[in-house]
Amino acid sequence: MPTTVLLVDDERNIQLTLSRALSMEGYAVEVAGGGREALEKIAALPVDVVVMDVRMPDLDGLSVLEKARETRPELPVVIMSGHGSLDTVRSAFKLGAFDYLEKPITEKEKLLVAVRNALALTTLRQENAALRREAGPAEMIGSGAAMRRLFDVIRRAAPSEGRVLVTGENGTGKELVARALHAGSRRKDAPFVKLNCAAVPAELIESELFGHERGAFTGAVAARKGKFEQADGGTLFLDEVGDMPAAMQAKVLRVLQEGEFERVGGQQTLRCDVRVVAATNRDLPADVKAGRFREDLYYRLNVVPIHAPPLRERREDVPELAARFLAEACERNGRRPMRLAREAVLSLQAHEWPGNVRELRNLVERLAILCDGPEIGGADVAAVLPDARRPRPDRFRAGASFHDLVEEAEREIVLGALDAHGDNVAETARALGLERSHLYKKMRALGVKRGEGEGS
Ligand SMILES: Nc1ncnc2c1ncn2[C@@H]1O[C@H](COP(=O)(O)OP(=O)(O)OP(=O)(O)O)[C@@H](O)[C@H]1O
Ligand SMILES: [Mg+2]
C-alpha cells in the first residue's frame, strides 16, 4: 500500500501544484478542500501524514489539528500558513503539529523534506511500539486486533503450567498456537510431542500413550516409550482431541488425575512431568451434552481456553500472510520473487476462506506455480477463486451470528458498487444513495481499502 498524504487547502491551484509535487515523489495524495472534509478523510482513509493550511473557510487548520489528535494521536500533521504570525505557529506546535511551512511554498523540496521527516517519525514510533509489545510468536503472522489479542493470551498463558484447550476451525493455526505455548514456557528446551488422537488404532491406544515393554504383545520386539514418557519435562500436544475414542478418553483422564501410568506389560508405575495442550475444531461442549465426550475430561483439559479466529474475521492480516506465503512458495519452487497486484490482494481479502490460513497458503502456492509474470493480477486470483464474489442464494448459515452475516452482505454490496464505479467513492456513494462520508466510514469499518486515488 502506498504512503498516503492528505493535502488540505481551499485554494485550487495550491491543491494542484502541491499534489503534483507529492505524486511525483510516489505518494498517494488525497485532497480535502476544507477542514470538515479533512476530518472526514482522516477518519475514513488510511492517511499517513497531513499537510494542512491554517486558514480555511469552514473549519480552520488548528481546530482540525486538535480534533485529529483525539482520533489519531500518532498522525503527523504539517501546518502551512501564509499569514504566519508567531502566535499561529506557537499554537500549532502546542497542539502537536509536527512541522510548520511558510506559504507560499516556492521550494517543493521543503515540503518534501517535511513530509519525509514526518513519516520517519511515524516509522520510529511504530518500531518502538512494536518493540514494547514484543514480537508475536516466531512464525505466527498477523498484526490486526484479533491476532494481537491472540498473541496476548498466548503470552500470558505460555509460562503457566495450566492446561490449554485451543479451539478453532480447520487451518486457523491451532498447532502453531500449541507450539508457541511450548516455546514460551520453561519447558521450551524439553520435547514438544504431538499425538493425533483421531489417528490412533483402537488396539494401540494404550501402547501409544504409555508405551510397552519388550514382548508385551505380538510385534513388541523392543520396549518403547509412549507419548507421555517421550514428552517428560515438556509439552504433550493432543491434537484432534474431540475425536478421541471413548476408551482412550478414560485412559487419558486417569493420567491427568493421578499423574501415573504403566507401560503395557510393565510392572513399574511411572510418573511424568508433562503439560498437556489440546486442540479441536469440534464444538466440545456440544459433544459433552450429546454424551460423545467425557465431561470430567473436558474440564480437566479446558483450564485455559484459547480460540484461534477464522481468517474471514481478520481480513486485515490477509495481505501480510499472502506476501509471506508467496515469498516462501517462490523460493520452494525455485522461482524468481513475485508480487501481488492490489486487485489480487483485494480479491483474496474478499474471499470467505472456509479453509482459513492453510487454504490461503495452498492457493498462493498454486498462484506462484501457475502465473508467469513477476506480478500476480486480479484475474489470476479470480481464476483460482471462481466463486469469490458470487452472492450466496441462501445468506443464513448455522454458526454465524446475525452481525457477521450482515457485515458480509455489506462488504459484498460495497465492493460490488465500487467495482461498478471504477473505485470512485463519490460516484459509488451517489449510486448507493449514501453520504460520501458515510460510505467512507462504512468502508473503514468493513476493512475495504479502495478508492485511494479519489480526490487527487
Ligand atoms: N498466523 C499464522 N501465520 C503464519 N502461518 C500460519 C498462521 N496460522 C496458520 N498458519 C499456517 O497455516 C497452516 C495451518 O496451520 P495449523 O496446522 O497450525 O492449523 P490447525 O488449526 O492446526 O489446522 P487443522 O485444524 O486443520 O489441524 C500451517 O501451514 C501454518 O503454518
Ligand atoms: Mg492441526
Supply the pLDDT for residue 375.
Answer: 93
> Do 365 and 324 contact (CB within 8 A), yes or no?
no
Q: How does residue 387 score in pLDDT terms, banded at 50, 70 and 90?
A: low
Residue ranges of the chain assigned to CATH 3.40.50.300: 145-309
Q: What is the pTM of this model?
A: 0.60
Give the percent of the chain with pLDDT over 70. 93
d(CA 118, CA 76): 6
Q: Which of 161, 162, 155 is nearest to 186 (CA)?
A: 161
Higher pLDDT, 249 or 384: 249
Ligand 1 atom nearest 172 alpha carbon:
21
Q: Which of 220, 207, 206, 239 is nearest to 308 (CA)?
A: 239
User: What's the average model confidence in pLDDT over 399-414?
Assistant: 87
Reported as a single tens digit per residue, the pLDDT across 287-338 is: 999 999 999 999 999 999 999 999 999 999 999 999 999 999 998 888 888 9
Nearest CA to ligand 1 atom 24: 170
Nearest CA to ligand 1 atom 29: 358
Instruction: Pull the grid cell for residue 429.
Output: 456513494
Reported as a single tens digit per residue, the pLDDT across 24-64 is: 999 999 999 999 999 999 988 889 999 999 989 899 999 99
Ligand 1 atom nearest 361 alpha carbon:
12
Residue 267: helix, strand or coil by DSSP?
coil
**Range scoring the smallest mean pLDDT among 11-15, 95-99, 205-209, 438-442:** 95-99
User: What's the average model confidence in pLDDT over 374-386?
Assistant: 87
Ligand 1 atom nearest 147 alpha carbon:
1
Reported as a single tens digit per residue, the pLDDT across 284-296 is: 999 999 999 999 9
Residue 302: helix, strand or coil by DSSP?
coil
Instruction: Pull the grid cell for residue 209.
Output: 500413550
Residue ranges of the chain assigned to CATH 1.10.8.60: 312-384
DSSP state letters, 42-87? HHHS---EEEEES--SSS-HHHHHHHHHHH-TT--EEEEESS--HH
d(CA 428, CA 190): 58
Å from CA of 179 to ligand 1 middle: 11
Ligand 1 pocket: which of 150, 176, 237 to mutate (most atoms within 8 A of CB): 176
User: What's the average model confidence in pLDDT over 143-153?
Assistant: 92
d(CA 84, CA 61): 13
Q: Is there a cis peptide before residue 104, judged by omega within 30 degrees of 0?
A: yes
Å from CA of 356 to ligand 1 middle: 8
Ligand lying closest to the C-alpha of residue 357: 1
**Range scoring the smallest mean pLDDT among 33-37, 139-143, 240-244, 285-289:** 139-143
Question: Does residue 391 surpass a pLDDT of 60?
Answer: no
Instruction: Pull the grid cell for residue 396.
Output: 443464513
Residue 99: helix, strand or coil by DSSP?
strand
Burial 393-432 (b: 16+ CB within 10 A, else e): eeeeeeeeeeeeeebbeebbebbebbeebebbbebbbeeb
Ligand 1 atom nearest 279 alpha carbon:
22
Ligand lying closest to the C-alpha of residue 318: 1
Supply the pLDDT for residue 386.
Answer: 57
Q: How does residue 128 score in pLDDT terms, banded at 50, 70 and 90?
A: low
- Residue for grid cell 509535487: 21
Burial 104-130 (b: 16+ CB within 10 A, else e): ebeeeeebeebbeebbeebeeeeeeee
Nearest CA to ligand 1 atom 13: 358
Supply the pLDDT for residue 287.
Answer: 96
Ligand lying closest to the C-alpha of residue 310: 1
Ligand 1 atom nearest 175 alpha carbon:
18
Å from CA of 287 to ligand 1 middle: 24
Supply the pLDDT for residue 87.
Answer: 82
145-309, what's its fold?
Answer: Rossmann fold (3.40.50)
Ligand 1 atom nearest 357 alpha carbon:
12
Reported as a single tens digit per residue, the pLDDT across 71-111 is: 787 899 999 987 657 788 888 888 888 888 988 888 899 99
Residue ranges of the chain assigned to CATH 3.40.50.2300: 4-133
312-384, what's its fold?
Answer: Helicase, Ruva Protein; domain 3 (1.10.8)
The residues lining ligand 1, judged by C-beta closer than 6 Å to any ligand atom, are: 139-142, 168, 170-176, 281, 308, 357-358, 361
Nearest CA to ligand 1 atom 18: 173
Question: Does residue 129 surpass a pLDDT of 60?
Answer: no
Supply the pLDDT for residue 130.
Answer: 56
4-133: in CATH 3.40.50.2300: yes
